[in-house]
Amino acid sequence: MGRKSLKEDQQKKIIEAFYEIAKREGIENISFGKIAKELDMHPSLVVHYFSTKEELLLGLIDFIIAGYQNIYLAEPEHVDSLNRLIDVLNNIFSRKWNNYIDDSIFYNCFALIFRNKLIKQQFQELHLLLRQWLENLIQACVDQQLIVCENPAQTADLIFVISDGAYYFLSMIEDPDLYQEHMERYKEAAFKLLHLENALQ
């Protein structure tokens, strides 16, 4: 058990260092040597845990999934399903995404899906997970008769279509007021899908 824990701990440290360097320099400029220098370890040790850069990238995508899962972390028990759903929707349409995972890292990795089938599969699983988590929240509210939604899976998918398109476009907007104006519009569209206009903040 100890060996497994040590391996997982070292892999986590390497991925976190990879992420920090990528934020500063971009994924394309990363080498095993740079990661080793960041961690003050021998490059052969990095290679021991990740034999190829592809393995590193797959580990980074797992890191991204874990980061985005924070958007869905359960609220305290006293928070009901409807308020939990509203909180998650507000988080989805906010800058909190970037607090968990840097946008530049996400899009750097995403661009690789056109050249790497494994990375494409990982990203597909990420997007399916995000939709499934949201669908589960919507379904819980439907089951408790807190909202009316005929197709939670389809609605969750549409909300993420809005979200994905929103962040792609908003990443090009530098004016904070204009950014917020667009964000509020997209959030309103998502809330309307669930007939939750009155819950808009």
The boundaries of the domain holding residue 35 are 2-51
Q: Which two tokens stand for residue 95?
A: 């800058």
The whole-number pLDDT of residue 181 equals 94
Query: What span, in angstroms and rounded, lies between the C-alpha atoms of 186 and 97?
Result: 15
pLDDT in tens, 103-112: 888 888 888 8
The whole-number pLDDT of residue 142 equals 97
> Same domain for 83 and 25?
no
Q: Which two tokens stand for residue 34?
A: 């740079």
Query: What span, in angstroms and rounded, lies between the C-alpha atoms of 21 and 15?
Result: 10
> Same domain for 74 and 21?
no
Mean pLDDT, all residues of the chain: 88
* Residue 109 CA to its chain's centroid (Å): 12
CATH value at residue 90 = 1.10.357
> Same domain for 182 and 98?
yes
> Same domain for 44 and 87?
no
> Same domain for 75 and 127?
yes
pLDDT in tens, 25-58: 888 888 999 999 999 999 999 999 999 988 998 9
Is residue 94 domain-resident? yes
CATH value at residue 27 = 1.10.10
Integer Rg of the chain from CA = 19
- Total domain count, the chain: 2
Mean pLDDT of 127-135: 92
> Same domain for 132 and 77?
yes
Q: One-letter amino acid identity for 181?
A: E
Phi, psi of 82 (to 5 degrees): -65, -45
pTM for this one?
A: 0.81
> Same domain for 96 and 174?
yes
> Same domain for 165 and 91?
yes
> Same domain for 189 and 128?
yes
pLDDT range class, residue 146, cuts 50, 70, 90? very high
Is residue 121 domain-resident? yes
Is residue 57 domain-resident? no
Q: Say yes or no to pLDDT of 166 above 80.
A: yes
